[in-house]
């Protein structure tokens, strides 16, 4: 079956498709490691800085992951161009299964030309389920899906990576942007 063209819906958990090359990482903790990284790289530049930075972040990451590498992932994240360094600790889910994906014609309706000119009315989403020890993972915190939709006045949070526009800019802002391009 052409699942991109036709879409996919698992009627039961047994019908869910294993995604062998996919991993889901759930952020569990953020800690500040700025002092450690800055101490390791203080006064260094160029290749010496890079080597000290790589060694320090590798040591921090290894200490965070420890012997839990199969279920834990840790990354040192550079923020504000080296102004801060944070350690992100994730729980790794390596058994990921596809539950639902719409057909491409609905998910990509209008394509890129419409995407950048008009509001998109696409169904570009999918549902995945993560498993641990062969069972759906039981996570402490999660966002429930409400098939009935929100009630009037209920807060709604939309996730995604929207593109930017200049529609709300003043004429002076647009002139400034043009002058500095």
Instruction: Say yes or no: 108 and 175 in one domain.
Output: yes
User: For all residues of the chain together, what is the average pLDDT?
Assistant: 88
pLDDT in tens, 12-29: 999 999 999 999 999 999
Same domain (yes/no): 83, 126: no
Which one, of 82, 72, 84, 59, lies nearest residue 25 by Cα? 72
Q: Could you give the percent of the chain with pLDDT greater than 90?
A: 59
Give the residue from 93, 112, 145 where a domain finishes. Answer: 93
Residues contacting residue 66 through CB under 8 Å, at least 6 positions apart? 72
Cα separation, 59 vs 100, whole angstroms: 40
- pLDDT single digits (tens) 99-135: 999 988 887 776 666 666 666 667 778 899 999 999 9
Domain end, chosen from 93, 127, 150, is at 93
How far is 52 from 76, CA to CA, in rounded Å?
A: 14
User: What per-residue confidence (pLDDT) applies to 121?
Assistant: 67
Range from 32-41, 79-88, 111-120 carrying the lowest mean pLDDT: 111-120
Q: Are residues 145 and 58 in the same domain?
A: no
By residue range, what is the domain housing residue 117?
3-19+95-179
């Amino acid at each position: 079956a052409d699942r991109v063209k036709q879409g996919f819906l698992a009627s039961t958990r047994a019908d869910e498709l294993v995604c062998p090359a996919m991993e889901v990482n759930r952020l569990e903790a953020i800690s500040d490691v700025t002092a450690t990284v800055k101490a390791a790289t203080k006064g260094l530049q160029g290749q010496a800085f890079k080597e000290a930075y790589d060694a320090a972040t590798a040591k921090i990451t290894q200490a965070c992951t420890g012997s839990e590498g199969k279920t834990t992932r840790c990354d040192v994240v550079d923020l504000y161009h080296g102004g801060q360094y944070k350690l992100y600790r994730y729980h790794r889910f390596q058994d990921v299964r596809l539950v639902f994906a719409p057909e491409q014609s609905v998910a990509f309706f209008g394509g890129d030309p419409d995407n950048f000119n008009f509001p998109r009315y696409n169904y570009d989403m999918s549902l995945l389920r993560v498993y641990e020890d062969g069972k759906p993972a039981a996570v402490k915190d999660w966002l429930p899906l409400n098939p009935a939709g929100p009630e009037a006045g209920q807060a709604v949070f939309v996730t995604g990576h929207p593109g930017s526009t200049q529609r709300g800019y003043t004429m002076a802002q647009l002139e400034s942007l043009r002058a500095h391009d």
